[in-house]
Structures are given as structure tokens and as C-alpha cells.
Amino acid sequence: MKDVRTRFAPSPTGLLHIGGVRTALFEILMAHRHGGQALLRIDDTDRERLVPGAIKSLIEDLRWVGLHFDEGPSDEEIAKADSAPTPGTGIGGPMAPYVQSLRAARYVAVSEDLIRTGFAYRCDCTPERLQQEREEQTARKEMVGYSGYCRERNVSAAAPHVVRFKIPANRPIVLADAVKGEVRWEKIILRDPVLLKSDKFPTYHLATVVDDHDFRISHVLRADEWLSTAPLHLLLFEALGWEAPVFAHLPPVLGTDGKKLSKRHGATFLSSFREAGYLPEAILNFMALIGWSAGEGEENEIFSLQDLTRRFSLERVNNAGGVFSYEKLKWMNGVYIRGLQPSDLAARLRPFLVAAGLDVQDEKLARIVPHIQPRLELLPDAVPLIDFLFRDAIERDMPSMLKKGMEAPKAREICGQIANSLAALETFDTASIEAALRRVAEESGVAGGPVFTVARIAITGKKVTPPLFESIFALGKGQSVLRLRETAELLATQ
């Protein structure tokens, strides 16, 4: 196989879609599997839809999810192309610039070559004339499209114009797609599409063909929705005398209803998954399995990026669409959370705890993390479990404490006994805490369960928490005793 070079070419028109993450992942896996390079190219020729800061956002999202490209726009390029750049965002590379708007002169030159060789022509048709053509075609029940009026008119280069490509009549096109196999078009339905707009900016079709050639792209992995543009792109490569890359059109990402994944199914932007508390490792693993399989007989579904790189091949990319299951992603996220080192998990939980307004103390967090780790599917799940550790004042679920024969006076007595027992402990650890509470149960003549419920609600405020003794240890002796005595005072008014 020749040198493998792939490219991910998003438009900076908004946030990164989760489907784009899969495309970027496959681009990197394909290149690195064969010792090649994966490029990040910014396709920003649609000037009307540009969003300030979108290039920065794209690169940051890709880096957060663990996708690192070998070449891409530098800080200087981003500063020129984006009205809201941030230093340190760029990548750089030997074939700069990697931003299409900075390559405008190259597209103009190629369009002139196509005109000179007879594959393209200038068109000065006004919007009014084009509208009239469409209306007349519709009235005749013909396919709507440009009539070719300017094909033989030899429009002057000095006149305001666009450049159109001459679509050959009755020309079959065959694509050897690396995923779909042979795809054949007996006739191209496009009618002389625009390659260069009147503002001298290229359309997607011209820019992507020129760039794929100039950057020596060997494999184009892109969404299935771009398949319809393949005939035009193949004709452009042919007209320019360039070898076309291998095309691989990836299966669509579908919702559970079998329709293309969209916001009606739930979150679709990568940033939304990040904010929801998904781990980047889980996202990459999950997205890899949508439309790709590790091989027959392989039952394992948990793969690191290194595993995926070693196993990836286009032959294992499915032709049919893959279903995006939010429930399965959540399950996989839980698997990855449980596989983290506690110190790593604590660091990832911290931003979510701080965002919830909690005064996080790292020693307490480190103590409790191993005991909540098995319960988490998403990082924010930790907040309601352990917020009692980081609040000065808590609300207590007193009705859950005072039931099943537990009257307020008895509960008050138990709180006082536990407070005194904990305060007297010379060694404050989970074993000593458990022994102290069990002694109180025995001395008070109340079963352990109700005694533990009183302690849990007095100290944490709620009946569902991490393990009781570990919760008390994490909170610390001083605060635990204080909360027990506060609760005893509250119970005096019940």
C-alpha cells in the first residue's frame, strides 16, 4: 500500500457532531494503522455560515476526546481565518496552509486551467435569469438545473461571473468504494455545477478535489451522505489529470428508530456528551463500534485507542448503518469509570462537584471515591451521593429516620450516644467507626438497621449514600460529631 494519508475536513460552522467524531476517529485509525499521517483541514469556504471561534472549538473538542492529528492549521493560520482565535490551539505541518480560505489563489488558478483545457467555462447569468430557467423547467415538468446557456458564449474574464464545470452527456461513472464495493452511475444528473463563485471562493467540490490532490491524500473516508458527489469529484480528478484517492463512504449513524441520528433522538454534539459526564475513552470506543466490527468471533467490546489502531481495517467497516444507543454508551461509560484509578476518577469528578457549588476538599474526595466508583455511570452521578461531604449545612430527611417504631426521643438518645462514642475514638477509621455504632445498637437495645439509619440521616441528610462507615470516615470525626449533636437538638423539637 502506498503512503497512507487521510484527512478530516470539518466546516467551522458550529459545534462538532458526534458523527463527525466517528469520521475523525476512522481517519486517524486508518492512517496510523499503516504508519501514515492524518491531517486536519478546515473547509471554510462557505463564508456566510462561519461561526467565530468554531476552529478553536473544533480542535479543542478533538483533543479532549483523544484525537490528535499529525498535521493541521497552525496558530498563525487560525488567527487569520478565525475572528476568535486562541494561541496554542494550532497544530502545524509541512504543507501549510491547512485552511481553505487561505488557499483561495490556488483554486482560482485550477479553475483557469479547467477553462483553458475546455472542461469548465465562465457563466455570467444573473440570478433573475437562473430563476426564470427554473420556473420554465418546472412548468415543462423537466429536471430543474442550469441549462448550459453560457457553455459556448465565451464570457469575458472581466465580467462578473462564476466558473462552471461541463458535465459530459450520457457518461457512466464507476466508483470502486472501499466500503460499498462497486457503485455505478449510468448518467450524471448534475447540470454544470459551479466550481468557483463570483467572489472567487471555490465551492466545496473544487476545493476538496484540489486539496486532496495537493495534500497527497490517499484515502478519503467520509459520511455516506457525500456519496452523491462522488461522480463530480471523479470527473474533476480525471479532467485535471490527477489520480483520485481511494474513497470509503462510511455507514450512517442512526437512532434507535432507524433514522439518521439527530437532536430529536437526544444529544448529538460532542460538547453535550462532555458536559453530561461521559469519558472520552468511552466515547471513542463506542463510536468505533458503530459501523465497524473487531472481527468474527470477537465478543469483547472494550478497546483502547491502541487496540483499535492495531485492529482497524476498511474491510471490517459495514455497509449498513449503525445504531447509536444512548443506553449502551452509558453502560460503556460506567465500565470505563470502574476501570479508572481512584486518583484519576477523583480528578475527573472534581469539576462537576465544583460546578454544583461544592467546596471540594481533596482529602475527603480521595477517601470516598473508591466507595462510589462502582455506582457511577456518568460523572455527575457522584454529586447527589457525596455532596454532604462538602456542605457546611445539610437538609435532613427526618421522616425517613422516624419510622418503623423509631420515635424522636429514642432517635435523639441514639444521636447523642453515637456522637459521644465517635468523639471518644482514639483511632478514627472505618473499623473503629463500625464497632462504635454496633456498640450503641447493642447498648440501646435497638437493632443495627434502625440505628444505622439514624446515623446516616443525621450525618449525611439522606437515606441513600455511599457505605455508612466509609461516609463517616470521609467526613471526619469533628464534622460527624457536630452533625449528630445538631440532629439531637432538632429532634428535641419533634
Neighbour count for residue 84 (Cβ, 10 Å): 13
Strand 5-8, strand 37-40: pairing: parallel
Mean pLDDT (whole number) for 259-272 = 84
- Mean pLDDT score, 170-176: 93
Return the C-alpha cell found at 115: 477553462
Q: Any idea what DSSP says for residue 74?
A: -
User: Cell numbers of 40, please?
Assistant: 486536519
Residue 343 has pLDDT above 90, yes or no: yes
Exposed/middle/buried for residue 154 (C-beta within 10 Å: 0-12, 13-18, 19+): exposed
Confidence grade of residue 137 (pLDDT, cut at 50, 70, 90): confident
Q: Omega into 97 within 30° of 0, i.e. cis?
A: yes
Residue 188 is which amino acid? Answer: I
- DSSP label of 72: B
Closest by Cα among 408, 406, 399, 384 to 460: 384
Q: Under a CB-based contact definition with an 8 Å cutoff, are residues 436 and 468 in contact?
A: no
Q: Which residues are catalytic?
A: 263
Which one is predicted more confidently, 27 or 256? 27
Please give the sequence-ordered ranges of beta strands (E in DSSP) within 124-180, or none if there are none: 162-165, 173-177
Summary mean pLDDT of the chain: 93
User: For residue 147, what pLDDT band results from cuts at 50, 70 and 90?
Assistant: confident
Question: pLDDT exceeding 70 applies to what percent of the chain?
Answer: 99
Judged against a pLDDT cut of 70, whether residue 1 lies above it is answered with no
Residues 6+ apart with CB under 8 A from 171: 187, 188, 235
3-state DSSP: the chain helix, strand, coil percent, rounded to 5?
50, 10, 40
Averaged pLDDT for residues 438-459: 94
* Residue 38: φ, ψ to 5°: -110, 130
Which burial class, exposed, middle or buried, applies to 169 when counting CB atoms under 10 A from its CB (0-12, 13-18, 19+)? Answer: exposed
Give the three-class secondary structure for 292.
strand
What is the CA 82 to chain-centroid distance, rounded?
A: 22
In the predicted structure, residue 266 carries a pLDDT above the cut 80: no
Residues 22-81: tens digit of each pLDDT: 999 999 999 999 999 999 999 998 878 888 888 888 999 999 999 999 999 999 998 888
Pairing of strands 181-185, 173-177: antiparallel
Q: Residue 174 pairs with which residues in a beta bridge?
A: 184
Q: Could you give the angle at which helices 468-475 and 362-372 cross, rounded to 10 degrees?
A: 170
Backbone angles phi, psi at 143, to 5 degrees: -65, 130
Residue 369 has pLDDT above 90, yes or no: yes
Residues in the chain: 494
Give the least confident one: 64-78, 134-148, 461-475.
134-148
The sign of the torsion formed by the CA atoms of 222, 226, 227, 232 equals negative
d(CA 27, CA 24): 5
* pLDDT of res. 84: 65
The DSSP call for residue 109 is H
pLDDT tens for each residue of 109-133: 999 999 999 999 999 999 999 899 8
H helices present in 312-361, as ranges: 326-338, 342-355
H-run or E-run covering 412? helix 408-423
pLDDT at 457 over 80: yes
Whether pLDDT at 256 is above 90? no
In the Cβ-directed half-sphere of 246, how many Cα atoms lie within 13 Å?
18
Whole-number pLDDT of residue 124? 95
CA dist 407 and 92 (Å) reads 71
Among 445, 315, 300, 457, which residue's Cα sits nearest to residue 388?
457
Closest listed residue to residue 21, CA positions, set 259, 208, 270: 270
Please give the radius of gyration of the chain, using alpha carbons only, rounded to the nearest integer.
Answer: 32
CA-CA-CA-CA torsion sign (468, 471, 473, 477)? negative
Beta-strand relationship, 322-323 and 253-254:
parallel
Lowest pLDDT segment from 73-87, 90-104, 207-221, 426-440: 73-87
Query: Can you tell me the distance from the alpha carbon of 350 to that of 346, in angstroms, rounded to the nearest whole number?
Result: 6
Q: Which of the four pLDDT bands, split at 50, 70 and 90, describes residue 474?
A: very high
Confidence of residue 148 (pLDDT cuts 50, 70, 90): confident
- List CB contacts of 73: < 8 A, sequence separation 6 or more: 40, 42, 55, 81, 90, 91, 92, 96, 97, 98, 99
The stretch 258-285 carries a mean pLDDT of 90
Cα(362)–Cα(188) distance, integer angstroms: 64
Nearest CA among 274, 220, 231 for reference residue 66 = 274
